[in-house]
Structure 1
Amino acid sequence: MWKSGFKWMFLIIGTTIGAGYASGRELWEFFGHGSGLAIVLFVIFFSISCFVIMSISYRKKSTEYRPVLKVIVGEKLSPVYDVMIFLYLFTTTVVMLSGSGATGQAFNLPYWVGILFIAITLVVLFSKDITGLLSINQVILPILIIGLLYVLLTFTFDQKLHLFSHWHEQFNWASAFPFTALNILPLIAVLGAVGNKMASKKEIWIASIGSGLTLGVVTYVYNNSLIQISEQILVYEIPLFAILSNYPFYMVLFMTILLWFAIFTTAASGVLGLTTRLNGYFKLPFWLLVVLILATMIPLTTFGFSTLIGILYPLYGLLNLYVLTRLLLFPLWDKKKTN
């Protein structure tokens, strides 16, 4: 039970902590000053949403996201959100590929080298179906979370920052809604693809609460650090490197590797959602479908990492607010429907 619960927890975190999140760019788009309460609300909303999505997936024993989506938004709107999820997964995976290119540039590698490297690694990962993704998440994610917290807390102590000094300002609480909404759509796609692999309700509780609390702690500490370097963020494509600017090269190297792992796990989750959705239409080997999807994405990475995040993420966050509302109120209208 605990092992399975942590397996799904790491899948959720791996889907959420991507290039935008781990680099700090996504957090700065939504949070910043006066966001302590917003982050607490995000933890609550996110945990509830994960629990509802997983419960529906478990009930439906789903192998792709459409049956879950129909329950959440209804028969009439499900085709609309089906297209939106597909476009979301496609464009955010493009962002991950672009993020890999930007990460490579930190070591003076050409932009396209970082993109090709992650594309080839994704094909290798999915050469053995989805089991490779679940296995690698359980190794990568604990290292990523511990490493990220280590760097952020080191920065906090070195700069003598107070973790709760900004609690008197809570004017940005409403940002919890679009930020949670932004991260929900890929979870429907990914968790909807593994409903037939869930064994009990207990592992759903572990995964939903554990992922919400873990992401909440990391988000709060990260946001607190970003506030201190707010004037430098405009200069950096990846805000995390502004935090690391005064640290030795080995720490920069360590965090760059972790950042790439974050990009990789989210790209893998996006590809999982896309391939399980298209699998019914194209009778192709799983790995070949991955190759074809990635081949269509690579030309779009020329738009740049921060540009893609700045335009797409806030837009998706607003469009997904209806889905978030349905998830948060699900126990009420589902009970009414069954009576």
Structure 2
Amino acid sequence: MKTISTLAVAFTYVGTIVGAGFASGQEIKKYFTDYGVYGIASYCIAAVLIFLLGKKIMLMCRKNNINSYDKLISLLSGNIFGKLFDFFITIFLIGTLTTMSAGMGTILNQVFSIPIWFGNLVLMLFSIIIVKKGINEISKINIFIVPILILVTIIISGTSCDGFEVSLVKSASAVKSLFSMILYVAYNIIMSISILPALALSANEKSIKRGTMLAGIIIAFLGLLMSFALLTNYDIIQNVEIPLAVIADKYVGFYIVTFILEVFSTAVSSLYGVYTRVNKKNKMLYIISLCAYCFSLFGFSNLVTYLYGIMGVIGIFMIGILIKGDYR
């Protein structure tokens, strides 16, 4: 297998985390913007933790030749707890795939009046095609997608921050903001282990260390810029499903393309994780994709709120195990 570069590691890691929830502004709003200045401080901590935990996971996988998340969980948790975590993480990845599908349907319906069921289906079919091509193809896609995300986020958020103030959020709480940050990091770590093991075996140690650090910097920059933009426009975005689309204004066309690409990237990562879990059996790939598609009709905003919150709690236990110490 060809060794991938620092940029490939960074952009694939970012592309896995930055999906429909992030690109829509819904994720940043719920977990950080709603807490005002406390949310901004919490997000800085979150970006650092995502870098450190991602690096540790990848180095651990490389050292122990681990290529799928079930083997990583078994190493971390043992057989009994490992099987339990394995089950919940598999469900979460399928749920994330479901959420990405719902996000695609929502944006296409909102902008082009395309039926939600059709938008969901298109994402699922393209995800299956890419997943079957393997980790190198996934990395190539993210090297293309993430720079576009960075550019568009700078343009949209940067031009929406006039008159920035944090007093718009009246009920901000430091304690609640901290807990929200922990949940955010936890479910993103759960999300990332769908792709990090395979990524780790395709990169050398230097690329892993530099790549995860670069990923943390990119995530911090994008999230903070978006937070400032959302806070500035909090009165008009607090009750909408896709906040960033509301403030995109004349750049809405560029935003829609970026949103679709990021949704696709995270959907592919989620499906790839489950695909490796079932030992790359095509029949199971199709069954899982069909189930995810059916549940995606439940609605994007509801899935972001409930699914990610529940899995964030489970992710906290996984982070505790990672922080506990090094494993052989």
- State TM-score, norm by structure 1: 0.87
Alignment partner of 1:138 out of 137, 143, 147: 143
1:104–1:113 Cα contact (<8 Å) kept: no
Query: After superposition, where does 1:170-189 map in structure 2 within 5 Å?
Result: 171=174, 172-189=177-194
- Mean Cα deviation higher: 1-10 or 316-325: 1-10
2:304 paired with 1:299? no
2:67 paired with 1:63? yes
2:263 paired with 1:263? yes
- Call closer, same or farther: CA 1:193–1:48 in 2, change over 3 Å: same
- Call closer, same or farther: CA 1:221–1:109 in 2, change over 3 Å: same
CA RMSD in angstroms, aligned pairs only:
2.4
1:15–1:187 Cα contact (<8 Å) kept: yes
Task: Output the CA distance in 2 between the equivalents of 1:178 and 1:214.
Answer: 20
- Distance apart, 1:325 and its partner CA: 2.1
1:62–1:194 Cα contact (<8 Å) kept: no
Aligned to 2:9: 8
SS of the residue 2:201 aligns to: helix
2:200 paired with 1:195? yes
- Mean Cα deviation higher: 16-25 or 187-196: 187-196
SS of the residue 1:77 aligns to: helix
- Call closer, same or farther: CA 1:127–1:77 in 2, change over 3 Å: closer
Aligned to 2:164: 161
Task: Output the CA distance in 2 between the equivalents of 1:123 and 1:43.
Answer: 30
2:54–2:212 Cα contact (<8 Å) kept: yes
1:38–1:174 Cα contact (<8 Å) kept: no
Q: Supply the AA of the counterpart residue of 1:190.
A: I
Task: Output the CA distance in 1 between the equivalents of 2:134 and 2:316.
Answer: 32
- Distance apart, 1:3 and its partner CA: 6.0
Aligned to 1:30: 31
2:20–2:103 Cα contact (<8 Å) kept: yes
SS of the residue 1:303 aligns to: coil
Task: Output the CA distance in 2 between the equivalents of 1:295 and 1:315.
Answer: 23
- Call closer, same or farther: CA 1:127–1:182 in 2, change over 3 Å: closer
1:65–1:189 Cα contact (<8 Å) kept: yes
- Distance apart, 1:2 and its partner CA: 11
Structure 2 gap ranges (5+): none
2:200–2:208 Cα contact (<8 Å) kept: no
Aligned to 2:273: 273
- Call closer, same or farther: CA 1:12–1:291 in 2, change over 3 Å: same
Task: Output the CA distance in 2 between the equivalents of 1:269 and 1:120.
Answer: 14
Write out per-residue CA displacement over residues 285-322 of structure 1, whole angstroms, 9 at most, x where no aligned residue. xxx55433212211111211001111111221122111
2:313 paired with 1:312? no
1:60–1:67 Cα contact (<8 Å) kept: no
Q: Supply the AA of the counterpart residue of 1:130.
A: I
Structure 1 gap ranges (5+): none
Identity %: 24
Query: After superposition, where does 1:214-233 map in structure 2 within 5 Å?
Result: 214-233=218-237
SS of the residue 1:309 aligns to: helix
SS of the residue 1:189 aligns to: coil
- Call closer, same or farther: CA 1:325–1:139 in 2, change over 3 Å: same
- Call closer, same or farther: CA 1:127–1:45 in 2, change over 3 Å: closer
What is the aligned length? Answer: 319
2:119 paired with 1:118? no
SS of the residue 1:231 aligns to: helix
- Distance apart, 1:162 and its partner CA: 6.5
Write out per-residue CA displacement over residues 177-208 of structure 1, whole angstroms, 9 at most, x where no aligned residue. 1110110012122112333322x211111121
1:12–1:187 Cα contact (<8 Å) kept: yes
- Call closer, same or farther: CA 1:36–1:237 in 2, change over 3 Å: closer
Task: Output the CA distance in 1 between the equivalents of 2:10 and 2:84.
Answer: 28
- Mean Cα deviation higher: 172-181 or 295-304: 172-181
Task: Output the CA distance in 1 between the equivalents of 2:165 and 2:141.
Answer: 35
Q: Supply the AA of the counterpart residue of 2:260.
A: W
Task: Output the CA distance in 2 between the equivalents of 1:139 and 1:62.
Answer: 27
2:81 paired with 1:77? yes
Task: Output the CA distance in 2 between the equivalents of 1:235 and 1:242.
Answer: 11
SS of the residue 1:67 aligns to: helix
1:16–1:183 Cα contact (<8 Å) kept: yes
Query: After superposition, where does 1:85-100 map in structure 2 within 5 Å?
Result: 85-100=89-104
1:229–1:242 Cα contact (<8 Å) kept: no
